[in-house]
Amino acid sequence: MGQPESRESPGSEQLELPPGQRLQRGWPVTHYGPVPKFKPDRWEFRVFGATADGDKHCWNHEEFAALPFESVVADLHCVTKFSMPGAEWGGVLARTILDLAPPSPQVTHVMVWAEYGFSSNMRLADFASERTVFATHQGGELLTAEHGFPLRLVVPHLYAWKGPKWVRGVEYMTADRRGFWEERGYHNIGDPWREQRYSYQEEPGDGPEL
């Protein structure tokens, strides 16, 4: 609740997009750097940092693929102003990861880590949203390499850079720290409905000093 619906009213085909966004037909590929090669025998998903039990939690590809599979329908809003509406993402809910590898009570933020050291930070509450999903599938098909195979995060209520492609793990943090784009001029919180695009728009308390 509290989140505007992505579709206006039943029956109307009109979409409600966040301010300044326009509709994109098709699904463009947007990222920084090369597309990593998936090496199944070396891949693992790691939860580390301030876990409740103080231990790291790791899943290899086979183990991760065996976790409960759920679907979430969500729009993708790129800060460069295109939105792709109504995608069906399939994968493992962030909630499931939080249940299996609980954070310590001091955790306030998470850093989501991807191949090549790409990262994005968010508040624990954003990560814990019931719609945040580690997606393996889109539209019923396995993700393609360019779109993040074997795993990407989708945080429906934040700009799409908050969803790393080729994700490899989550760090539980007891204080906020900026991720890759958050250090490079993008807003620390990144709520598209409040048009929080750039770090110069941040208000006191929105993020750590730059």
Determine contact, residues 109/179, Cβ cutoff 8 Å: no
78 near Mo ion, judged by CB under 5 A? yes
166 near ligand MTE, judged by CB under 6 A? yes
89 near ligand MTE, judged by CB under 6 A? no
Sequence-ordered list of residues with C-beta below 8 angstroms from that of 167, at least 6 positions apart, any chain = 45, 112, 113, 114, 134, 148, 151, 152, 153
Residue 113's binding partner among ligand MTE, Mo ion, none (Cβ under 5 to 8 angstroms by kind) is: none
Judged by beta carbon, residue 28 or residue 68, the one nearer ligand MTE is 28
Taking the complex as a whole, the smallest distance from the CB of residue 113 to ligand MTE amounts, in Å, to 9
Structure tokens at 210: 């730059």
- State the Cα–Cα distance between residues 47 and 168, nearest whole angstrom: 9
29 near ligand MTE, judged by CB under 6 A? yes
Taking the complex as a whole, the smallest distance from the CB of residue 181 to Mo ion amounts, in Å, to 8
- State the Cα–Cα distance between residues 122 and 113, nearest whole angstrom: 12
Taking the complex as a whole, the smallest distance from the CB of residue 200 to ligand MTE amounts, in Å, to 18
